[in-house]
Amino acid sequence: MAEEKKKKYKFDFQIKTDICMDCATCWYVCNFEGGKGAVVVNYNGGAYYAIDKELCSRCGRCARACPVNAVERLSVGEGA
């Protein structure tokens, strides 16, 4: 896997957990409406959504679908 040629992106999508209300809209569009299944859910009492950067194709569907603009676009190197 590490040996495979990996696509380089200039930006990442990241879910701001302080704004996210766990509605699952991003998860739905990413898994069933054309995304790459890159939105993952970590259950730790409540739900917690995150984007797997390795799977994400940067299509932006999640960001456009989020009702509270919790999916932010970060230039590579800008975020964690």
Where on the chain is the footprint of ligand SF4 (CB under 6 A)? 13, 15, 20-26, 29-30, 35-36, 38-39, 49, 51, 56-62, 65-66, 68, 70-71
**CA-only gyration radius of the chain, Å:** 13
25: helix, strand or coil: helix
Interior angle at CA 59, CA 73 and CA 42, nearest 5: 70
Q: Which is closer to ligand SF4, CB of 6 or CB of 22?
A: 22
- Give the residue with the Cβ less far from ligand SF4, 3 or 54: 54
- In the complex with ligand SF4, which residue's Cβ is closer, 15 or 75? 15
Contact 50, 19 (CB under 8 A): no
